[in-house]
Amino acid sequence: MTHIKLYDYWRSSAAYRLRIALNLKGLAYETIEVNLKPGEDGQMSDQYMAINPQKRVPSLDVDGQIFTQSMAILEWLEETHPAPAILPSKPEDRLRCRAFADTIASDVYPLNNLSVLKMLRGQFGADDVAITAWYHDWIF
């Protein structure tokens, strides 16, 4: 029997997409919280860095093998657990789904995650108004 552990944070959109996929596929998994809240910074702990040296969430432990990067994990889940399928059957529709997911994962998320916001505040002195403007520029 496969044992799956999801290193997770409830507000992480990348972890959220894995929770959706694991649940849609009916796969049982154990959730291990990595608290990303500023001041907690669980991703920076020595314990978590031993699991994922990138210090990012999510990570997926499948029988002791650690996988990172949610989009790659989604592809692996689809390949190893094809039913029910996450992606539609038509290639054109699969392309559209992947393009939409890549827009979020590659264009929106990296510019608005906690490490970037921390840098904007700490290194560049951005206040909440500037951070909101940053969000609006990169999301909308």
Per residue in 80-105, pLDDT (tens digit) is 999 999 999 999 999 999 999 888 88
CA distance readout (Å), 100 to 7, 11, 31, 106, 132: 24, 20, 27, 10, 23
23-32, 40-49, 85-94, 108-117: segment of lowest average pLDDT: 108-117
Greater model confidence, 5 or 137? 5
Confidence at 34, pLDDT banded by 50, 70, 90: very high
Q: Would the pLDDT of 1 be above 80?
A: no
* Per-residue pLDDT, 29: 98
Specify whether the CB–CB gap between 90 and 113 falls below 8 A.
Answer: no
Per-residue pLDDT band at 115 (split at 50, 70, 90): confident
Give the distance, in angstroms, between the CA of residue 17 and the centroid of all CA atoms in the same chain. Answer: 7
pLDDT at 11: 87
pLDDT for res 19: 97
Please choose, from the candidates 1, 28, 5, 27, the residue with its C-alpha nearest in 3D space to the C-alpha of residue 15: 5
d(CA 31, CA 4) in angstroms, rounded, equals 9
Other Cβ atoms within 10 Å of 9 Cβ, number: 21
pLDDT at 41 over 90: no
pLDDT higher than threshold 80 for residue 70: yes
Does residue 31 surpass a pLDDT of 90? yes
Confidence band, pLDDT 50/70/90 cuts, at residue 10: very high
* Mean pLDDT of the region 14-28: 96
